[in-house]
Copies of this chain bind each other. A is one copy, B any other.
Amino acid sequence: MKIIKPTLIIDKNKTIKNIQRMTQKINNSPGYIRFRPHFKTHQSTQIGEWFRESGVTAIAVSSVDMASYFAQKGWNDITIAVLVNPLEIKRIDELTEIPGVDLNLLVESPDMVTFLDRKLKRQVKLWIKIDTGYHRTGIEYDQKEKILSVAKEINKSQKFLFKGLLTHTGYSYHAPSTVQLKQIYDETVNRMNEVRDYLKANNFPEVEISFGDTPTCSVMDKFYGIDEVRCGNFVFYDVMQFYLGSCSEEDIAAAVACPIIGRYPQRSEIVIYGGAVHLSKESIKNENNQDIFGLVALPDDSTGGWGPIVKNTYVSSLTQEHGIIKTGKEWINRLNVGDILMILPVHSCLTANLLIKQDYVILNNP
Contact = CB atoms under 8 A, between A and B. Distances in A.
Interface of A: 2-5, 40, 62-65, 82-88, 91, 108-109, 111-112, 135-137, 170, 259, 261-262, 264, 267, 269, 271, 273, 276-277, 280-283, 319-322, 324, 337-338, 349-350, 353-354
Closest 6 CB pairs of A and B: A4-B87, A281-B281, A86-B338, A83-B261, A137-B262, A62-B321
B277 A350 contact: yes
A269 B135 CA distance: 10
A262 to B, nearest CB: 5
Contact of A137 (B136, B261, B281): B261
Nearest to A323: B136
Contacts of A267: 135
Contact of A136 (B82, B135, B324, B337): B324
Given A62-B320, A85-B259, 12 more contacts: A5-B88, A63-B273, A82-B261, A86-B259, A87-B338, A108-B262, A135-B269, A137-B271, A137-B322, A276-B282, A276-B350, A277-B350
A83 B262 contact: yes
Given A280-B281, A353-B320, A273 B135 contact: no
A319 B232 CA distance: 14
A271 B5 CA distance: 37
A135 B267 CA distance: 9
A40 B277 CA distance: 11
Contacts of A88: 4-5
Q: Is the interface of A mostly helix, strand, loop or mixed?
A: mixed
A337 B112 contact: yes
A182 B269 CA distance: 29
Contact of A321 (B63, B111, B170): B63
A174 to B, nearest CB: 11
Contact of A319 (B86, B109, B136): B136
Contact of A3 (B87, B91, B112, B320): B87
Nearest to A271: B137
A86 B2 CA distance: 13
Contacts of A2: 87
B273 A82 contact: yes
Nearest to A266: B140
Given A136-B319, A137-B261, A137-B262, A5 B85 contact: yes
7 contacts: A4-B87, A4-B91, A87-B259, A136-B271, A136-B319, A277-B350, A280-B280
Contacts of A324: 136
Given A82-B261, A276-B282, A170 B319 contact: yes
Nearest to A321: B62
Contacts of A85: 4-5, 259, 261, 273, 338
A200 B29 CA distance: 77
Contacts of A108: 262
A337 B5 contact: no
Given A277-B353, A320-B353, A84 B282 contact: no
B262 A321 contact: no
A137 B270 CA distance: 9
Contacts of A354: 354
B91 A320 contact: no
Contact of A83 (B82, B271, B280): B271
Contacts of A170: 319
A87 B350 contact: no
